[in-house]
Amino acid sequence: MRKCNISIIKNKMLNTTIAALLGGPEMIIVGVAVLLLFGGKKIPELMKGLGKGIKEFKAGQEEEKSEVPKQA
């Protein structure tokens, strides 16, 4: 159980570090760059594909968890 808690703490620290590195102005610059690179019509398609990919990934994780037998 302790190993799991350490993993959660490390994950939170990583998220906090990333959030600290990317502030408001940087996020605006990244958004404008993406808009210029892909255009306004392509972004919704990219987000839709990203959403489907995340959904499939989570479904695969759940499937994997259900297939693994529990060890006592």
Per-residue pLDDT of the chain (72 residues; tens, 9 = 90+): 445 566 666 666 666 666 667 777 888 898 889 888 888 888 889 889 999 999 999 998 888 777 766 665
DSSP per-residue string spanning 42-68 = HHHHHHHHHHHHHHHHHHHHHHHHHHS
Tell me, yes or no, whether 45 lies in a domain: yes
Would you say residue 48 lies in a domain?
A: yes
Residue 46 lies in a domain: yes
Residue 1 lies in a domain: no
Residue 72 lies in a domain: no
Q: Classify residue 3: in a domain, yes or no.
A: no
pLDDT computed for residue 34 by the predictor: 86
- Number of structural domains the chain divides into: 1
Asked if residue 32 belongs to a domain, the reply is: yes
Instruction: Give the domain range for residue 33.
Output: 24-67
Predicted TM-score (pTM) above 0.75: no
